[in-house]
Structure 1
Amino acid sequence: MPIKIPDTLPARKVLEAENIFVMSRERAAKQDIRPLRILILNIMPTKIATETQLLRLLGNTPLQVEIDLLQTATHTPKNVSAQHLLDFYKVFDEVRGNRYDGLIITGAPVENLAFEEVDYWQELCEIMEWSKTHVFSTFHICWGGQAGLYYHYGIPKYPLEEKLSGVFRHRATGTLHPLVRGFDEYFYAPHSRHTGIRREDVLKHSELQILAESADAGVYLIATGDGRQIFVMGHAEYDRETLAKEYERDLKRGLHPRIPRNYFVQDDPQTIPPMIWRSHASLLFSNWLNYFVYQRTPFDLNELSSK
């Protein structure tokens, strides 16, 4: 899928080198179609890496997608330049009057804090409430998924005995649901988190359906019946080396992390991890775009509030 992104966005060179179809705004303007409008609320500290990971996956179908990057105004990131944010990101006040086909809310390394203790929590709540009338389908990732389940359904998160880090086998359970159409019965996906949700809490809400879960990592994929809310408890978007970089970071911080499970060859951090989840990640994102964004969003986005 051609992705409309600024020519100077760092992700552009990486994606072009991988033969991902990216398109200039000038060329896109000559195509007589309405692109899907996707807003990405990026609250990961590794902004540029996360941009690239998500754009790679959004570039895997024939649909044209126009991306807006959103940051929180109530939190100042420390791991990206102010100029990068100024050049490529908007704040909520700049987009609150817009309507979008889809919204992605990323994870964030704040699981050990209560939701209300996160400095941008109130702003995030405002964005999630706004999404009900201004976004057709919202895709929540990891902590973003926990935050969405807590805000919309009051489902709590619980601390884990140790950080869950690694690549785990999952089983697709909602096999007739369009979001998992084409999934293998068993597939792999990365996790990296300190907290989790409980299956029994999800089952209390009839409008929520568990579509995939893992014996080791728990509930993985949840969707509402109408597909307007998607919750992913892991990080399908992660690159091959992302868990390795997190492991090295935690080592340097003296946190004595456990080696990510099922990740390095023979648990040797000097080896190159095999990439065994990319096909799942590509299918997950393309199914979301196709079945819950492209085929269901009204052509005139102004109709969203009435729907």
Structure 2
Amino acid sequence: MTIIVRPDYHALSVIEKNGIRWIPPQQAELQDIRPLRIGILNIMPLGEQYEFNILHPLGLSVLQLEPVWIRLESHHYKSWPENHVQDVYVTYEEATRDQHLDGLILTGAPVETIHFDEVHYWREISEILHDARESIPSTLGLCWAGFAMAYMEGIDKFNYDRKLFGVFELENLDLSHPITGELDDVFWCPQSRHAGLADDVMESAKEAGILKLLAYGKDPGYTIFATNDDRFIAHTGHPEYNATRLA
């Protein structure tokens, strides 16, 4: 369908090159369509360059989407152009003040070897996740954000001796779930992380009715999972990465 972006958006030429339809906000306001507002809390390093990795799959949706870029108040985006953060991004409070979000995406961050309580912006992230659980229909956590969702459910990560890096085979564990129902029985997904979740702990969480386990790989472990109410969807890999991102 179409994503709503400003005509001066820095990656507009890449969006057009990849065949993604877009319209400016002024045109969207004249249409008799309410787009889905999708919040994107981006804490990736060099996040300006990363943005297209999120916009590309969103742009392939059959629905009209309005990306709402969200920044943390407690984090200094030192590898980003400062003017870009201030010009394009809003706080979570600003994003939800006058209109609700139909969905929220939390990106990964290079802090998976650090305990959550020692991450300087963890308090703000946890407050956002608590609010999202109550007020947003569904929230997707990628890589570290997926671990954060598990931690909110009482499941802690552990650090690997060696970084998990590459494209790995995953088994689809639930062909009836809305997230994995249209995927193949076996599929491949990029991974780039220093931490994981113990299989036995994840299986115990499933037995306790805390989680739904949706995809598993021999090396990556349980990579896709959801809370029982499907308000949190976690993917500890990087399904958003394009073919050159891991190179």
Cα drift, residue 227 of structure 1: 2.0
Partner residue of 2:233 out of 215, 230, 233: 230
The equivalences for 1:69-80 within 5 A come to: 69-80=69-80
Q: More helix per residue: 1 or 2?
A: 1
Q: How many Å separate the matches in 1 of 2:203 and 2:102?
A: 28
Q: How many Å separate the matches in 2 of 1:88 and 1:134?
A: 23
Residue type of the partner of 1:43? I
Residue type of the partner of 2:166? G
SS across alignment from 1:241 = coil
* Deviation string, structure 1 residues 83-106 (Cα, Å, up to 9, x no partner): 000110012332342421100000
Residue type of the partner of 1:17? K
Cα drift, residue 186 of structure 1: 0.9
**Partner residue, 1:65:** 65
Cα drift, residue 232 of structure 1: 0.2
Q: How many Å separate the matches in 2 of 1:228 and 1:207?
A: 12
**Partner residue, 2:123:** 122
Residue type of the partner of 1:91? T
Q: How many Å separate the matches in 1 of 2:60 and 2:105?
A: 16
Q: How many Å separate the matches in 1 of 2:13 and 2:246?
A: 23
**Partner residue, 1:81:** 81
**Which segments of 5 or more consecutive residues in structure 1 lack a partner in the other structure?**
245-307
SS across alignment from 1:16 = helix
* Deviation string, structure 1 residues 161-183 (Cα, Å, up to 9, x no partner): 10000000111011111211221
**Which segments of 5 or more consecutive residues in structure 2 lack a partner in the other structure?**
none
Normalising by the residue count of structure 1, what TM-score does the alignment of the two structures yield?
0.76
**Partner residue, 2:149:** 148
The equivalences for 1:1-307 within 5 A come to: 1-97=1-97, 98-151=99-152, 153-205=153-205, 206-244=209-247
Provide the aligned length of Structure 1 versus Structure 2.
243
Sequence identity (%): 38
Deviates more, 1:171-180 or 1:202-211: 202-211
Q: How many Å separate the matches in 2 of 1:58 and 1:115?
A: 29
CA RMSD of aligned residues (A): 1.3
* Deviation string, structure 1 residues 206-234 (Cα, Å, up to 9, x no partner): 13111111012111110123321100010
Q: How many Å separate the matches in 1 of 2:109 and 2:226?
A: 21
Q: How many Å separate the matches in 2 of 1:199 and 1:9?
A: 42
SS across alignment from 1:111 = coil
Cα drift, residue 190 of structure 1: 0.4
2:133 touches 2:232 (CA, 8 Å); kept in 1?
A: no
Cα drift, residue 133 of structure 1: 2.6
Normalising by the residue count of structure 2, what TM-score does the alignment of the two structures yield?
0.94
